Chain A
Amino acid sequence: MSLWSRISNVFRGEHLNRDIEEEFEAHVAEAIAEGRDPEEARRALGAAMRQRQQSHDVRVIGWLDSLRADLVFGWRQLKRNKVTSAAAILSLALAIGACTSAFRLIDALLWRTLPVDHPERLYAMSREGFGFDGKFGSFDSWAYPDFQLMRTAVKGQAELIAISYTIHSDITFKTDQEMEKANVQHVSGRVFPIFGIEPAAGRLFTENDDLKPGAAPYAVLSYDYWSRRFGRDPNVVGRTFHFGDGIYQIIGVSEKKFTGTEPGTIIDIFIPTMMHRSVTRQDSTWFRMLVVVPPGTAVEPLRAKLAAVSHAFEAKRLSGQTGLSPETLKNVLNNEMLLKPAPTGVSWMQKEYTRALGALGMLVLMVLLIACANVANLMTAQAAARAREMALRVSIGAGRWRLVQMVLVESALLAFLAAASGALFAWWSAPFVVSMINPPDNPARMILPADSRVLGFGIGLTLVVVLLFGLLPALRASSVRPVSILKGGDDPHSRQRLMHGMIALQVTFCFLVLFVAGLFVTTFKRLSNKPTGFSADRILLLETKSRPAQSPIYWDQIADQLRGVPGVERVSQALWALLSGSGWNDSIAVNGGPPSVDLAYFLNVSPGFLETMRIPLIGGRDFRDGDLYNNTAIVNEAFARRFLNDDNPVGKVFEIASDDGKRQPMQVVGVMRDAYYRDIREPMLPVVFVPFHHKDAKGGLLPEGDETFIVRTTAANPMALSTTLRQEVSKARSGFRVSNARTQLELNQAQTIRERLLATLAFFFGAVALLLAGIGLYGVLNYSVLQQQREIGIRMALGAPVGDVARRVMPGISVAVAIGAVAGLALGLTSVRYIESLLYQVKATDADVLVIPFLTILLAVVIAAVPAVLRAMRVDPVAMLRVE
């Protein structure tokens, strides 16, 4: 009770004083009633003030009381300068919020260990070297038979877990017409016991669910999906759904904390690896491999053992492949195996966004430093205005630390107000950034907890911020010498030196932010303005499936039916859309020669596809009805250059050389202009378009299960027609349905999601940095004019021209700005190496990238300087001389 009442009494100061006062009054009244002399009674009670002070001191904690007084005083100070305080709080809030937001994202993606037992024991296995396409890279996908051999080889030493790439796939709980999408992942049966994950309902997989191919059609839902899709209905256990060609039964729901091992993706449905259709195939790689290394097991011997087993497997498998060039074979077998710690899981988003988020984190840190410098300058200027007050406090006996405390409390008040608003900003902005990472088929979803880690970071950051902008002004304010102040003023130059230093820092960071923002914006502009070679204008893509696979005749009939729908201009078919991410590649052999090392990329298209996509034909003809697969081909210029010596390719014949040694000759009937197939960043690939219709061994046409209808609409927004066309496809023939409708524009934009994110955010923070630096400059200039008013007044009275006055104000600032810009440039040029992989066709040494930040800052300086110079010129010499 005692400590608490003393603490609470701190906050009821006035009330407490009144209480004591009233008790004394009652005492005096009592004495008078007893017949004592009122005067004497009062005198006996002693000086009421002293009494009260003693009683008051007993009833409150001294330091807490002074803290309270400082808080109240600080609050009054903040309220007195409403506009500047609001500006300071807002700029700090934005910066603190952005930093916290960046921390949340980076922490969630890279630093937070998986919520499983012993995440520190997890390692991810990958290979590095030249792949089958002849390009250097890192690969983390594996074939299941290889995995089984490795698992057996290290049995007893380490556990191996297979976790497939996530498929954003069609599933149905009732009829095919009620199709929905879910993130499906194949996992080893042992994964839940090894990770120590408990069921939230039903049961989870065990080893027994993962023994024989196709034997256990079971599924485990994630808690997140169970909540979103089924409202945590416990009766969901036992229900079945269709996925791929199978029917699966839900056996349970996993624990809430576990959302998979891929930060950036939240798994909806887990299925045993043994249910994957490629589980017995040696040539299909489809999952990542995690290795659980128990304590005491050395990693390197383990890696060597796994590498030896896998190498033997690959060597045996590839020895039967006569279709590979010896060079490719040698390259692939020389791949190096790596075993890297993976306590935070493995995901495409980590690979893709680590650097981007790091760069953004640095940008927001710069903005924070700029904001801190701003507030420090603000506090310094205010401290100057309060120098007399400080001097007075010192003269009547205030201790130095008491003054430091007073100024720091004011800073802390400012910072915590800013941190509170910043928390709101972070709460909103981190999910907003994640929502900007939205590839059409796999939008990122991240668990972004606001837990003690984030809170701790926020509080730590706020304290650092308080020290950054509060300490110097506080120490300076506390070191006042009353004599010089009370005499009329101290040396303003030392204060200005501090402020000019801050300005130089601000300009440095501002330059850096603008420079990096310029690089990102240019990258995005270059990439998004890059011609793709085809037109995405008004193109709607209907990814369509039939179950079971149906004759291409029927597919053609549906295309015809779609052509009759009002609003449809053209309809063509392709196995998949350009830039959709899918691909089919093979080696090429010319004139019976060996298979090529670099690969050509293939796509089945219908007659008219070129015209629908507006890809110009520069020689020969388009496909026509009756063209069959492997008789005819249309190649692009890159293909003609690479494989056919570029001289009039029409009529020439080349062979597709499959890995197993089989060769299929094709005749070139047309040549088209280059168009991007897979990725607009890579060099143009050699591309071959081939007809859809394909004779099977018996001479009939091969049935098809997947096609994409490429529809060019007449209306500007192709999506408007998607519902109608979906229905039209289902109506046209039973068993057909559209599993996904999207526009070609979406696919094109998906190519530059990361660049757009970086450009947008960098541009935003660049603008904020510039604004803050501008405000900072304005404040300091304004202050220095105020400080020099007397001097300016005297000079003007003596007849100094206006230009001379302006020159008085500017030089310190100009030097600071120049130093800042040069330092920013140096920092920018050294740090650009770190973000090089995020850039496209833009160099740090490009003239415009360097000049634009300089000009922008120069412009900001001029704009910020105008009011101060005007003010200096308006100084009235007479009024000035009369002031003192």
Chain B
Amino acid sequence: MAKQDSLQGSLDLLVLKILSRRPRLHGYAIMSAIGEMSDDVLRAEEGSLYPALHRMEEAGWIRAEWVTKDTRRRARIYELTAAGKKQLAAEESRWVTVTSAVNRILRTV
């Protein structure tokens, strides 16, 4: 089972969002991007990231491809599919609904 971490429930959303901005990233770059863009507040554990990537690949939201980099090492890069774009939109609106609901509770109490 996936390890509990700070990104519980939102990892898919972040990965999809990052891939929508910057296509063709490999796993390490996605992980770095999450850290970078959140000013190191958020951190994706490697142990959750790869199963999530593979799961989303099987679900058809992202597709993977082997490319040979200048270091002659092969890297597996990911990009969004059409289904992934739809999924991103759905996840985003779900996230907005949830966070605004949480915010309302925080404010009223």
Given A45-B46, A55-B50, A58-B55: 7 more A-B contacts, CB < 8 Å:
A19-B76, A26-B28, A27-B46, A29-B73, A34-B32, A55-B51, A58-B54
5 smallest A-B Cβ distances: which pairs?
A30-B28, A46-B47, A45-B46, A23-B76, A54-B51
- A545 located at the interface, meaning its Cβ lies under 8 Å from any Cβ of chain B in the complex: no
- B39 located at the interface, meaning its Cβ lies under 8 Å from any Cβ of chain A in the complex: no
- A51 located at the interface, meaning its Cβ lies under 8 Å from any Cβ of chain B in the complex: yes
Chain A contact residue count (CB 8 A cutoff): 24
Tell whether, in the assembled complex, residue A26 and residue B76 are in contact, meaning their CB atoms are under 8 Å apart: yes
**Nearest opposing residue in chain B for A42, CB measure:** B46
**Nearest opposing residue in chain A for B58, CB measure:** A2
- A860 located at the interface, meaning its Cβ lies under 8 Å from any Cβ of chain B in the complex: no
- B34 located at the interface, meaning its Cβ lies under 8 Å from any Cβ of chain A in the complex: no
- A856 located at the interface, meaning its Cβ lies under 8 Å from any Cβ of chain B in the complex: no
State the CA gap A44–B45 with chains docked (Å).
Answer: 7
Chain A residues whose CB sits within 8 angstroms of the CB of B58 once the complex forms = 2, 5-6, 58-59
Chain A residues whose CB sits within 8 angstroms of the CB of B59 once the complex forms = 2
Q: Using C-beta atoms within 8 Å of the partner chain, give the interface range for chain B.
A: 20 to 34
- A416 located at the interface, meaning its Cβ lies under 8 Å from any Cβ of chain B in the complex: no
Given contacts A2-B59, A6-B58, contact A30 B47 (CB under 8 A): no
- A441 located at the interface, meaning its Cβ lies under 8 Å from any Cβ of chain B in the complex: no
Tell whether, in the assembled complex, residue B73 and residue A26 are in contact, meaning their CB atoms are under 8 Å apart: yes
Chain A residues whose CB sits within 8 angstroms of the CB of B23 once the complex forms = none
- A798 located at the interface, meaning its Cβ lies under 8 Å from any Cβ of chain B in the complex: no
Task: State the Cβ distance, B5 to closest chain A Cβ, in Å.
Answer: 12
Chain B residues whose CB sits within 8 angstroms of the CB of A58 once the complex forms = 51, 54-55, 58
- B18 located at the interface, meaning its Cβ lies under 8 Å from any Cβ of chain A in the complex: no
Tell whether, in the assembled complex, residue A45 and residue B51 are in contact, meaning their CB atoms are under 8 Å apart: no
- B24 located at the interface, meaning its Cβ lies under 8 Å from any Cβ of chain A in the complex: no
- B29 located at the interface, meaning its Cβ lies under 8 Å from any Cβ of chain A in the complex: yes
A-B contact count (CB 8 A): 60
State the CA gap A22–B50 with chains docked (Å).
Answer: 12
- In A83-136, the 8 Å CB interface with B consists of none
Tell whether, in the assembled complex, residue A30 and residue B46 are in contact, meaning their CB atoms are under 8 Å apart: no
Please report A residues at the B interface, Cβ cutoff 8 Å. 1-2, 5-6, 19-20, 22-24, 26-27, 29-31, 34, 44-46, 50-51, 54-55, 58-59
**Nearest opposing residue in chain A for B81, CB measure:** A1
Task: State the Cβ distance, B15 to closest chain A Cβ, in Å.
Answer: 15
**Nearest opposing residue in chain A for B27, CB measure:** A27
Tell whether, in the assembled complex, residue A22 and residue B74 are in contact, meaning their CB atoms are under 8 Å apart: yes
Task: State the Cβ distance, A368 to closest chain B Cβ, in Å.
Answer: 44
State the CA gap A46–B50 with chains docked (Å).
Answer: 11
State the CA gap A51–B71 with chains docked (Å).
Answer: 25
Chain A residues whose CB sits within 8 angstroms of the CB of B73 once the complex forms = 26, 29
- B13 located at the interface, meaning its Cβ lies under 8 Å from any Cβ of chain A in the complex: no
**Nearest opposing residue in chain B for A45, CB measure:** B46
Chain A residues whose CB sits within 8 angstroms of the CB of B32 once the complex forms = 34
A-B contact pairs, 15 of them (CB 8 A): A5-B58, A6-B58, A20-B50, A26-B74, A29-B71, A30-B28, A31-B28, A34-B32, A46-B47, A50-B47, A51-B46, A51-B51, A54-B2, A54-B51, A58-B51
Chain B residues whose CB sits within 8 angstroms of the CB of A44 once the complex forms = 45-46
Tell whether, in the assembled complex, residue A45 and residue B47 are in contact, meaning their CB atoms are under 8 Å apart: yes
Tell whether, in the assembled complex, residue B54 and residue A30 are in contact, meaning their CB atoms are under 8 Å apart: no
Tell whether, in the assembled complex, residue A27 and residue B28 are in contact, meaning their CB atoms are under 8 Å apart: yes
State the CA gap A51–B45 with chains docked (Å).
Answer: 12
**Nearest opposing residue in chain B for A3, CB measure:** B58
Chain A residues whose CB sits within 8 angstroms of the CB of B2 once the complex forms = 54
**Nearest opposing residue in chain B for A5, CB measure:** B58
CB within 8 A of A46: which of B46, B54, B71? Answer: B46
State the CA gap A221–B92 with chains docked (Å).
Answer: 74
CB within 8 A of A23: which of B29, B50, B55? Answer: B50
**Nearest opposing residue in chain B for A55, CB measure:** B54
Tell whether, in the assembled complex, residue A59 and residue B54 are in contact, meaning their CB atoms are under 8 Å apart: yes
Task: State the Cβ distance, B36 to closest chain A Cβ, in Å.
Answer: 11
Task: State the Cβ distance, A644 to closest chain B Cβ, in Å.
Answer: 99
State the CA gap A45–B31 with chains docked (Å).
Answer: 12
State the CA gap A46–B44 with chains docked (Å).
Answer: 13
What sequence of 0s and 1s flags, for each residue 70-84 of chain B, a beta carbon within 8 Å of any chain A beta carbon?
Answer: 010111100000000
What sequence of 0s and 1s flags, for each residue 11-29 of chain B, a beta carbon within 8 Å of any chain A beta carbon?
Answer: 0000000000000001111
Chain B residues whose CB sits within 8 angstroms of the CB of A1 once the complex forms = 60
Chain B residues whose CB sits within 8 angstroms of the CB of A45 once the complex forms = 46-47
Task: State the Cβ distance, A297 to closest chain B Cβ, in Å.
Answer: 61
- In B68-109, the 8 Å CB interface with A consists of 71, 73-76
State the CA gap A54–B58 with chains docked (Å).
Answer: 13
Chain B residues whose CB sits within 8 angstroms of the CB of A50 once the complex forms = 47
What sequence of 0s and 1s flags, for each residue 40-57 of chain B, a beta carbon within 8 Å of any chain A beta carbon?
Answer: 000001110011001100
State the CA gap A19–B27 with chains docked (Å).
Answer: 13
CB within 8 A of A26: which of B26, B45, B47, B54? Answer: B26
Chain B residues whose CB sits within 8 angstroms of the CB of A20 once the complex forms = 50, 54
State the CA gap A50–B71 with chains docked (Å).
Answer: 28
Chain B residues whose CB sits within 8 angstroms of the CB of A5 once the complex forms = 58
State the CA gap A243–B52 with chains docked (Å).
Answer: 82
State the CA gap A55–B26 with chains docked (Å).
Answer: 16
Chain A residues whose CB sits within 8 angstroms of the CB of B27 once the complex forms = 23, 26-27
Task: State the Cβ distance, B4 to closest chain A Cβ, in Å.
Answer: 14
Tell whether, in the assembled complex, residue A51 and residue B60 are in contact, meaning their CB atoms are under 8 Å apart: no
State the CA gap A29–B76 with chains docked (Å).
Answer: 13
State the CA gap A34–B28 with chains docked (Å).
Answer: 10
Chain B residues whose CB sits within 8 angstroms of the CB of A29 once the complex forms = 71, 73
**Nearest opposing residue in chain A for B71, CB measure:** A29
Tell whether, in the assembled complex, residue B50 and residue A30 are in contact, meaning their CB atoms are under 8 Å apart: no
Chain B residues whose CB sits within 8 angstroms of the CB of A51 once the complex forms = 46-47, 50-51
Task: State the Cβ distance, A404 to closest chain B Cβ, in Å.
Answer: 28
State the CA gap A713–B22 with chains docked (Å).
Answer: 100
Which of B45, B54, B59, B73 has its CB near the most chain A CB atoms (within 10 A)?
B54
State the CA gap A19–B59 with chains docked (Å).
Answer: 18
**Nearest opposing residue in chain B for A24, CB measure:** B50
Chain B residues whose CB sits within 8 angstroms of the CB of A54 once the complex forms = 2, 50-51
**Nearest opposing residue in chain B for A23, CB measure:** B76
**Nearest opposing residue in chain A for B55, CB measure:** A58
State the CA gap A19–B65 with chains docked (Å).
Answer: 11
Chain A residues whose CB sits within 8 angstroms of the CB of B46 once the complex forms = 27, 44-46, 51
**Nearest opposing residue in chain A for B51, CB measure:** A54
Tell whether, in the assembled complex, residue A30 and residue B51 are in contact, meaning their CB atoms are under 8 Å apart: no
Task: State the Cβ distance, A8 to closest chain B Cβ, in Å.
Answer: 12
State the CA gap A622–B103 with chains docked (Å).
Answer: 128
Chain B residues whose CB sits within 8 angstroms of the CB of A46 once the complex forms = 46-47
CB within 8 A of B26: which of A6, A30, A34? Answer: A30
**Nearest opposing residue in chain A for B3, CB measure:** A46
State the CA gap A6–B55 with chains docked (Å).
Answer: 11
Which of B2, B47, B59 has its CB near the most chain A CB atoms (within 10 A)?
B47
State the CA gap A54–B29 with chains docked (Å).
Answer: 21
Tell whether, in the assembled complex, residue B60 and residue A26 are in contact, meaning their CB atoms are under 8 Å apart: no
Chain A residues whose CB sits within 8 angstroms of the CB of B26 once the complex forms = 26-27, 30
Chain A residues whose CB sits within 8 angstroms of the CB of B71 once the complex forms = 29
State the CA gap A422–B25 with chains docked (Å).
Answer: 55
Chain B residues whose CB sits within 8 angstroms of the CB of A27 once the complex forms = 26-28, 46, 50
Task: State the Cβ distance, B86 to closest chain A Cβ, in Å.
Answer: 15
**Nearest opposing residue in chain A for B31, CB measure:** A27
Chain A residues whose CB sits within 8 angstroms of the CB of B60 once the complex forms = 1-2
State the CA gap A34–B31 with chains docked (Å).
Answer: 12
Which of A1, A30, A46, A50 has its CB near the most chain B CB atoms (within 10 A)?
A30
Task: State the Cβ distance, B45 to closest chain A Cβ, in Å.
Answer: 8
State the CA gap A55–B47 with chains docked (Å).
Answer: 10
State the CA gap A50–B54 with chains docked (Å).
Answer: 14
Task: State the Cβ distance, A38 to closest chain B Cβ, in Å.
Answer: 14
Task: State the Cβ distance, A49 to closest chain B Cβ, in Å.
Answer: 12
Which of A22, A27, A34, A46 has its CB near the most chain B CB atoms (within 10 A)?
A27
**Nearest opposing residue in chain B for A53, CB measure:** B51
Chain A residues whose CB sits within 8 angstroms of the CB of B29 once the complex forms = 30
State the CA gap A769–B50 with chains docked (Å).
Answer: 60
State the CA gap A58–B64 with chains docked (Å).
Answer: 15
Task: State the Cβ distance, A140 to closest chain B Cβ, in Å.
Answer: 67
State the CA gap A34–B36 with chains docked (Å).
Answer: 13
